Amino acid sequence: MSRVCVFFLLSFIFSVHADPKVVNLFRVTSLGSLTISVESGGKIFLASGDDNQYLKNIQLTTGTTTITLDKLNDLNDDGSPKFITAAGSVILQTSNNDTTTSRLSGYIYVTTYLQAQDPTFSVYVLKTTQSISKMGMKSTVVVLNTVLRQELIDYDMPRAISYVTKIDHSPNTNLYFQWDIPASNWNDVTNNTFFRNPIELKNGTGPHFKVFFDNIEPLQIGLNYWYITSMGPFNLFLENKYVSDHSYTTTAVNTTGIIVGKSFYADRVVNFQSDTSRSSASGFFDSAYITDDLTIKLQFVGASFSNTLRKESETQNYAWSPAAPVNLTVTSTSTLPGTFYIQYFAFAGDLQPLTSTVATSLMLQTSTTTVASTAVTTSRIITTTKGSSSNCGVHILISLLLSMVFC
């Protein structure tokens, strides 16, 4: 057995369980080296829009290998990013001065051993554009964004972004977008989902039903990194680009889109196309970690539903109503409201036809289900789960009463 093999064997034996890691390069200061505990056998990637002139002054050592980061700042011919395999901890050292270091935007990402071994797990570094096409019955795709090279057109323009279009998959494929990087037990983690297609809705205590969207608005994901999990084949196209969308009009009646806020935020409105000839439904999913305040308001014809968060959090909350939407506004009194993810949706034609009825008013009740006047002919329930950051969950049942008057 060669010495290299013995070294790898030893490092596997002595390797400890470690979570996947992200380390920003601005943390690697001239004061000394930075040691990151990672799993041996994990893959080490660099996502960076920084100049190679500075990256070449940063050394990465793992086991017996030392390379400079400019060598990792590259893609293979097939568009996949270069990586090296961890053999014990990763040590980073720099000869850049601290002014240069503080301006670096790139970061190192290290997977776990199992993720590196999994053929359904892949990683992309988005520099300009990237097509992603997966044929397998299951896949996890990590997207590492790099700094946006675009003139500042809005003060809330994100620092890094994926602009996602051409999402193409069958209604039988469940597609999920999730924030952060996949955890060690990534196959079990779903509470960080910020976009899904199809969506699944609960109808009161009745059956769940699925709605698949053929049309998806361009999705702007202003996060440093995120990932896709898919239960079937899909294609999509990523661009490192930002388009101002503070007032946005949807491109179809049946559609879904997202609003993500991570740092600076300016109010947004989504104007919906509607089809008054058919019954409609609309709503949103949200996860929000609000340090100031945020109001998500869905305006229907003649009624509205709003969800206001004040220094509170909620995870995987959703609200919907069998009513045609007019607009969705997401507002805050603060320019730094906190982090939030909203997926809105609207569709027409799948609900029980509300023949010869007109929705005249929508009433919202919290905590109780109220059967009101005789004018109420049907009621549907919206369930939301709110939890404070300390995790003492308060379950609020909001019942939405749809009053209808027969013409």
Binding site for ligand NAG (CB under 6 A): 97, 99-100, 191-192, 203-204, 206, 209, 211, 254, 269, 299, 315, 326-327, 329, 347-352
Cβ closer to ligand NAG: 191 or 374? 191
DSSP string covering 190-212: -TTEEEEESEEEE-TTS-EEEE-
Cα–Cα nearest to 25, from 61, 54, 53: 54
Least spacing, CB of residue 327 vs ligand NAG, in Å: 4
Cβ closer to ligand NAG: 47 or 346? 346
Cβ closer to ligand NAG: 86 or 167? 167
Least spacing, CB of residue 117 vs ligand NAG, in Å: 23
Tokens of 153: 């057109």
Cβ closer to ligand NAG: 43 or 380? 380
Q: State how beta strands 219-221 and 65-68 pair.
A: unpaired
Residue whose C-beta lies closest to ligand NAG = 350
Cβ closer to ligand NAG: 211 or 323? 211
Four-CA torsion 74, 92, 159, 327, nearest 10 degrees? 100
- What DSSP state is assigned to residue 6? H
Report residue 177: phi and psi, to 5°: -110, 135
Least spacing, CB of residue 156 vs ligand NAG, in Å: 17
In degrees, to the nearest 5, what angle opens at C-alpha 331 toward C-alphas 329 and 332?
170
* Residue 146 CB partners (closer than 8 Å, separation 6+): 47, 48, 49, 105, 106, 125, 126, 127, 160, 240
Least spacing, CB of residue 75 vs ligand NAG, in Å: 26
Least spacing, CB of residue 351 vs ligand NAG, in Å: 4
Cβ closer to ligand NAG: 29 or 100? 100
Least spacing, CB of residue 247 vs ligand NAG, in Å: 7
